A and B are shown apart, each in its own frame.
Chain A
């Protein structure tokens, strides 16, 4: 059997609050993410989904249980740098993660720190910019780019490290609809090329496009399945305080009104097909 990209074994992360009480941000989570998967992680604000993701490249370590990346335990100090090279992170605010004054220098920052030879860095930076469709901006100042372009630069920086997995914590929250589409298209293209994608998002339209959706509620793993499995649980998701895709909600409510529709409708195309077949 191949080694999973990420394997959590009864992992918890607890901290001590102001009153000296132990609080669990994530609790007893067991989960495997295979290489090449596109996984969306959804949950309300404060559900623990960001805390969970920060374990994947050792920004946090489990307080109980274990987290393994490509078979390496994240609590083994010897493995930390190897893990961070395997798994890159992209955060919500693009302006907080760009360090250089020129796009290609920003992309080169990671491999430079790994001590990669100069010619190899050149090759990797060019290839990474090509893959995110930003080659023509190589010599631009990052401050002149749109939000979607900045996020693609951040992704290119991870590719230049030759990481196999990208974890993104609400990368599109600050972007306009066009920027969101740019980022999502880029992620899907990279996933087609074999990169594992773990996407934390509040946008259900984005989660629908993943292979798999993981729902975190109050620090616990509450659901795990395909978008079709998850988003037909309209009542449960709403009870947690989450949105569902509009088409799934319309299908659910129509069914409750007595309209006979196939199960597992989550996209507008499926809803359209089902309604057109009614007569």
Chain B
């Protein structure tokens, strides 16, 4: 099972003065169970790309297949496919609208035509997923919550649809470390336990290097890099810089130290690892002297 893009290009406003090609010749296969990070500067085509993954946009040329279904077709299979691909947009808290948190989360499952019992079960499960206590929050208004909590409600609404593929566009923007942790811990757990595929668009390189096992870099409407994040951060700094994106802060520090002549491994995911590498590096050095 996979999402497969073959020779996909997309042009906005064809035939108008604002015609602009946002994707060019994209070939990409995202397989079930992957955790894919997508980075690129503003305007590089990230949003256009992810909107193709569940048929919100149809390619100008080329094809997008989700589990073998062509998203450009209009059929029952395409509707079913849309339910498999859950999309959490930027600032999803702006999309909340119901009177209570439970009702807001139940909106999607209702549209699936599920029974009341199943819906209630899914709402509970989704709230647990994002770390909101059911008894405390279910009957509260979503509009009286903090920004971080509202965002978790919005994510719960997508989770309650039981997607096979979960696409998140900048889910941690504006959140502190604890807020980021609250958002990502449930997602990582589902990814590990249920094999759900996660596609994460983010400017936060830390989040990408901590969680993703594959990194896709977009620049000027094309995929310019596709591979394991640590390899890309280690060997393709020049291309990343040209693309207007950077390496994670922890990688940047270790690369700088390496540049100062310290023998340190700079293939690093976390600050804890970095501390160990620097410690090993300086101990190794002092032994050599």
What residues of chain A have their CB less than 8 Å away from a CB belonging to chain B? Answer: 18, 44-46, 92-93, 146-148, 170, 173-179, 202, 205, 241-243, 245-247, 249-250, 253-254, 257, 259, 268-269, 271-272, 275-276, 278-279
Contacts and interface: CB of A to CB of B under 8 A. Distances in A.
Given A246-B271, A278-B282, A177 B244 contact: yes
Contacts of A18: 144
Max chain A C-beta neighbours (<10 A), residue from B176, B262, B278: B176
Given A173-B174, A176-B41, A279 B253 contact: no
Interface in B256-289: 256-257, 260-262, 271-272, 274-275, 278-279, 282, 285-286, 289
Contacts of B227: none
A9 to B, nearest CB: 28
Nearest to A272: B260
A246 B252 CA distance: 9
Nearest to A18: B144
A246 B177 CA distance: 14
A174 B94 CA distance: 15
B253 A268 contact: yes
Given A275-B278, A278-B286, A176 B257 contact: no
B252 A268 contact: yes
Contacts of A254: 275, 278-279, 282
B42 interface: yes
Contacts of A243: 176-177
Given A178-B42, A250-B253, 10 more contacts: A45-B174, A147-B42, A148-B42, A170-B174, A174-B170, A177-B203, A253-B275, A257-B279, A275-B257, A278-B286
B271 A257 contact: no
Max chain B C-beta neighbours (<10 A), residue from A93, A250, A254: A250
A45 B257 contact: no
Contact of A276 (B170, B174, B260): B260
Interface string B174-215: 111111000000000000000000000001010000000000
A247 B272 CA distance: 12
Given A246-B249, A272-B256, A279-B285, A178 B244 contact: yes
Interface in B76-109: 90-91
20 contacts: A44-B178, A45-B176, A45-B178, A46-B148, A92-B174, A93-B91, A146-B41, A147-B42, A170-B174, A175-B42, A176-B245, A177-B203, A177-B245, A205-B249, A245-B249, A246-B271, A249-B271, A250-B274, A254-B282, A278-B282
B287 to A, nearest CB: 10
A275 B279 contact: no
Nearest to B178: A241
Contacts of B43: 146
Contacts of A44: 176, 178-179
Given A250-B253, A272-B257, A278-B286, A178 B271 contact: no
Interface in B135-160: 144, 146-148
B173 interface: yes
B176 A176 contact: no
Contact of A177 (B246, B275, B289): B246
Contacts, number: 111
Nearest to B174: A173
Interface of B: 40-43, 90-91, 144, 146-148, 170, 173-179, 203, 205, 244-246, 249-250, 252-253, 256-257, 260-262, 271-272, 274-275, 278-279, 282, 285-286, 289
Given A268-B257, A275-B282, A276-B262, A176 B274 contact: no
Contacts of B261: 276
A266 B129 CA distance: 36
Contacts of B250: 246
A176 B203 contact: yes
Max chain B C-beta neighbours (<10 A), residue from A205, A241, A246: A246
Nearest to B271: A249
A70 B149 CA distance: 37
Contact of A241 (B177, B245, B271, B279): B177
Contact of B42 (A93, A179, A250, A278): A179
A175 B173 CA distance: 9
A146 B42 contact: yes
Contact of B176 (A92, A148, A241, A247): A241
Contacts of A148: 42
A45 B256 contact: no
Closest 4 CB pairs of A and B: A253-B275, A173-B174, A44-B176, A178-B244
A46 B274 contact: no
Nearest to A149: B42
A45 B179 contact: yes
B155 to A, nearest CB: 15
A179 B43 CA distance: 12
Nearest to A150: B42
Contacts of A276: 260-262
